[in-house]
Structure 1
Amino acid sequence: MPEIILILVFVIALLVIKKTRGTYEVALAARIGMAAMLVVTGIAHFAFTKGMAMMLPEFIGQRELIIYATGIVEFAAAAGLLLPKFRVLTGWLLILFFVLLLPANIYAAQNHINLQTASHDGNGPGYLWFRIPLQVFFIAWVYLSAVKSEKVPVRG
């Protein structure tokens, strides 16, 4: 679901930017798409707190508080991507955040966590064949659109 939001909002933003500014500003549209995805996933931290808390090993204390905090981090990152002054710093911090999320995704897959139902009937380890490349895709997306990007409009 997050990847669908990312791509859909990216395409819409790209077209709206072209219509309003006369250029395709791919990096800006990509940051808007990522920001939208982060808002949706941030909301999920509050809607599926119990299931997301299950993605963390039991020895970690205050798991629900961590889930709320990471939801707020995602909201802040969404804003940071859209503020030119904070774009690059937010990009680097978001890349670090995505790297740090990987162990939770691995733990959840190994334990068949279904974050939406807060149960142990999730997809299991096979899910990692999708999730790990997706995480790499998110990292590349942020790097190319927020860290490396320069404002080079494409006329067309």
Structure 2
Amino acid sequence: MKKILYIGSKFLLGFLLVIGGIAHFNNTEFYIKAMPSFLPFGEFIVYASGVIEILLGILLVITKTSRNAAFAIIVLFIAIFPANVNMYLNHSDFPEMSETALLIRLPIQLLLIGWAYIYTRQKEDK
């Protein structure tokens, strides 16, 4: 049962990353608006991060690349944290989300990092 949960949750995280990456292409303006204004080349960063998310989601579920992908996912989650902070600080720019929802997203980022960390600790699926 533990192995099923381990593999199932890894596939779920990988799937969520792929879906999130695809969203960068389907809702580019939202992601550009979420980025801190001091970052240049907003559209390029949104597309590049979307591709990276998709690739990491796929690499996470491949046993051979899972551990390295998990480390990269942690780096990705840390790198996108300023966008979540920016969204909260500029909550009026995101009327589709409540200020509370934007605030809750911040600690959720830590949970996502913890979730990815699980897959850095094992070289093979248990």
What is the TM-score when the length of structure 2 is the normalising length?
0.86
Structure 2: 5+ residue runs without aligned partners? Answer: none
**Aligned position for 1:39:** 18
Q: Kindly indicate whether residue 115 of structure 2 is the aligned counterpart of residue 141 of structure 1.
A: yes
Letter in 2 for 1:147: T
**Cα deviation, residue 72, structure 1:** 0.2
**Aligned position for 1:15:** none
Structure 1: 5+ residue runs without aligned partners? Answer: 1-17, 114-118
Letter in 1 for 2:53: E
**Cα deviation, residue 151, structure 1:** 3.2
Matches within 5 A, 1:98-113: 98-112=77-91
Alpha-carbon distance in 2 for matches of 1:30, 1:77: 15
Letter in 2 for 1:78: G
Alpha-carbon distance in 1 for matches of 2:103, 2:35: 20
Give RMSD over aligned pairs: 2.1
Larger Rg computed on CA atoms? 1
CA contact (8 A) 2:36 2:82 kept: no
The C-alpha deviation readout for 1:72-106, integer Å capped at 9, x for no partner, is: 00111011101122111110110111011111100
Q: Any idea what SS the aligned residue of 1:58 has?
A: coil
Number of residue pairs the alignment of both structures matches: 125
Answer 1 or 2: which has greater helix percent.
2
Query: In 2 relative to 1, CA 139–59 (structure 1 residues): closer, same or farther, beyond 3 Å?
Result: closer
Alpha-carbon distance in 1 for matches of 2:41, 2:13: 28
CA contact (8 A) 2:63 2:125 kept: no
The C-alpha deviation readout for 1:92-132, integer Å capped at 9, x for no partner, is: 1101110111111000111126xxxxx54254653344112
**Aligned position for 1:126:** 100
Alpha-carbon distance in 2 for matches of 1:81, 1:137: 17
**Cα deviation, residue 35, structure 1:** 0.9
Alpha-carbon distance in 2 for matches of 1:120, 1:31: 30
Question: Which piece of structure 1 moves more, 54-63 or 102-111?
Answer: 54-63
